[in-house]
Structure 1
């Protein structure tokens, strides 16, 4: 990165932090609804070190904010985490899974495969992946975090009443976006967790980080790479690299969008370094970016602040935080995840307007009430075709809970619309050949 570019990013980070500090702090907390439950579950299973995860993910947060200048999240690799939790992976097995995915993404990045892949994927499929990921977050939150709650259970601090209050507050902040929703909800949840933890006598204590090295053995590579790593690859490629670059361009049009290659190298570097020390495999995800944007983050300063806090907490408290974090109200976390899902799903609205990259700048356009072009003129057939491709991608992704299946279904649908044109070209070529004879 050129020195001038780095200075521009740093200047913008500082300017945003000074002009809207509360919003940047609130936005930094937007992705905790995904990060905390997975990190806690893996820690309780003995699969990762919470201290190492906080320290390394915090360090990566700081680097991401400094070099990209946008609220790009550092979040768990969900496919790996799901398998690791279900099968109680060892330290070596989850490290092997993360290192395997990182090595593959590194190869894809330096060879240009990622960039080529991004160029050939149609925008309706990309939008479908984003919309599907948003709906998946909402469904997962409603089905796992909130559905298990009762009206007064499991405790006075965590129940359906608090979930409803948090959701109503979220609805209000849709009209008043300057209210730091995530900051307020997180502060309330933290107070509740501290009170409940204090009642049980297990408050965090000063516990310095003791680093150790995790070296995967032969069997670890087989279980981790084959059992979890292969399933993570399409998710990382599609949602953590390609979709996140498109989303950054949609949400922050006035900011330079990171390249596909740079995001790929970032994902690879984080895991080729952190996984050897017991840290959770991480990536950048469109869901986390949408969440942090929804709650106010507009620059890299938000995640730099988050990274500093995570590193301090990891260095001095680490594993002693597990009991406290386990008692953070699911009702509040669940609504934060729903908000992130809604923000991510909303990008599908721009499919047939100039908000879609492949339509931007194509005129003439349809003129809206504000005398601005809101989209190129498309026939009803073209609009329906693009919408169908997106919905097929969404439907199969959500139905099978698998990004790869959704992606393949969307691509097959897209290619099916190309068949008439392909047959016409073949027929013309055959006819032309006969005429020459």
Structure 2
């Protein structure tokens, strides 16, 4: 049975089985990354989950569509692998949020995409995928039997057609192991947080990560998502509007203990594929995140097996790499993706982005 309500955007919100399965499909990327982030940095998982819960609901109601609200993967990935500390991550997110808000209001998103070039953006995605894979190997080697068992579960479920659901199953098994160790946690309302301890710290690493992230966000979270809104839902939402809403999200959530967040074409497509058609999916998922925030205690997180996190990061990294190569055509574009990815892995993602964008611009000008 489906129940319908009217959103602020004038679109009906439905609460049906399709909206629920669509909501779960979008959590596949979010939960593994935020759990891994909380396990490897000083970020507070309950506060991060509150941020995702609130803004899933806000943008679901505002747009009336099941827009994805995801972690900014380049920045989160760099924090997971240790390139950015939490305070640097917060600073990078605030800078990215301010820029996204400004370019959205000024209508500059499309121009930025044309200057950077899609192959460079895809190369950054590939670089982050490689870095996450490297971190996954490090986490998995601590308990190889658990890691191998987790990969076997993922492989088996993928073979029978439940590739995306496999991530949630493995995450659930890890959570069950942690609960068995610590007991069922008592629900607690997260205390009000104002910035990470010590305040945001703007460093060269934070700026380099911001530059790389903005390339991905402009291409994937603004332009590609706007196109999908028209293709899948017959709604005309501009990339500048999406850029503005992402800027608002970062600037509002990070001071309260959240992390950099964005929309995403992959998450939107995933919600659609799993049955979501309205912003009701966002409301359901947002309520789910808020409920998780009540029981995501530090003790539970500490008991979560790191090898399972390694398995989750393997899946996320492979999915990110697949998304990077899927739209690539032509030898030059492939060379950009591979080159930017390699430089990002062995040197620095920010350096890879700048070098790639500069070369792309020079070659385009020479033609």
TM tier relative to shorter chain? 0.7 to 0.9
Aligned with residue 130 of structure 2, among 106, 122, 139: 139
Per the alignment, residue 6 of structure 1 pairs with: 9
Deviation at 1:259, TM superposition (A): 1.9
Per the alignment, residue 400 of structure 1 pairs with: 343
Deviation at 1:62, TM superposition (A): 1.6
Asked which structure has the greater RCO (Cα within 8 Å, sep 6+), the reply is: 2
Per the alignment, residue 54 of structure 1 pairs with: 49
CA contact (8 A) 2:100 2:246 kept: yes
TM, length-normalised to structure 1: 0.67
CA contact (8 A) 2:228 2:265 kept: no
Once residues 71 and 293 of structure 2 are traced to their aligned partners in structure 1, the CA distance between those partners, rounded to angstroms, is 16
Per the alignment, residue 244 of structure 2 pairs with: 265
Deviation string, structure 1 residues 171-208 (Cα, Å, up to 9, x no partner): 442xxxxx5x43454135313431x2245335433222
Once residues 143 and 124 of structure 2 are traced to their aligned partners in structure 1, the CA distance between those partners, rounded to angstroms, is 29
Larger-Rg structure: 1
Deviation at 1:59, TM superposition (A): 0.5
Q: How many residues align?
A: 354
Secondary structure at the aligned position of 2:82 is classed as: helix
Once residues 297 and 128 of structure 1 are traced to their aligned partners in structure 2, the CA distance between those partners, rounded to angstroms, is 31
Secondary structure at the aligned position of 1:225 is classed as: coil
Once residues 6 and 413 of structure 1 are traced to their aligned partners in structure 2, the CA distance between those partners, rounded to angstroms, is 39
- In structure 2, relative to structure 1, the CA distance for the partners of 1:200 and 1:33 (3 Å cut) is closer
Deviation at 1:55, TM superposition (A): 0.8
Per the alignment, residue 219 of structure 2 pairs with: 242
TM, length-normalised to structure 2: 0.78
> Alignment RMSD, CA only?
3.8
CA contact (8 A) 2:147 2:311 kept: no
Deviation string, structure 1 residues 296-327 (Cα, Å, up to 9, x no partner): 66654444322211112224545454235555
Deviation string, structure 1 residues 69-90 (Cα, Å, up to 9, x no partner): 1442321463366358737846
1:206 equivalenced with 2:187 (yes/no): yes
Secondary structure at the aligned position of 2:255 is classed as: helix
1:73 equivalenced with 2:69 (yes/no): yes
Which structure 1 residue ranges, 5 or more long, are not aligned?
A: 174-178, 352-386, 421-437
Once residues 168 and 102 of structure 1 are traced to their aligned partners in structure 2, the CA distance between those partners, rounded to angstroms, is 40
Deviation string, structure 1 residues 413-433 (Cα, Å, up to 9, x no partner): 46435535xxxxxxxxxxxxx
Deviation at 1:136, TM superposition (A): 3.8
Q: How is 1:288-367 mapped onto 2 (pairs within 5 angstroms)?
A: 288=267, 300-315=279-294, 317-323=296-302, 325=304, 329-330=308-309, 332-338=311-317, 340-341=319-320, 343-345=322-324, 347-348=326-327, 351=329
Secondary structure at the aligned position of 1:307 is classed as: helix
- In structure 2, relative to structure 1, the CA distance for the partners of 1:328 and 1:70 (3 Å cut) is farther
Deviation string, structure 1 residues 143-198 (Cα, Å, up to 9, x no partner): 33257546xx7275x2224314413432442xxxxx5x43454135313431x224
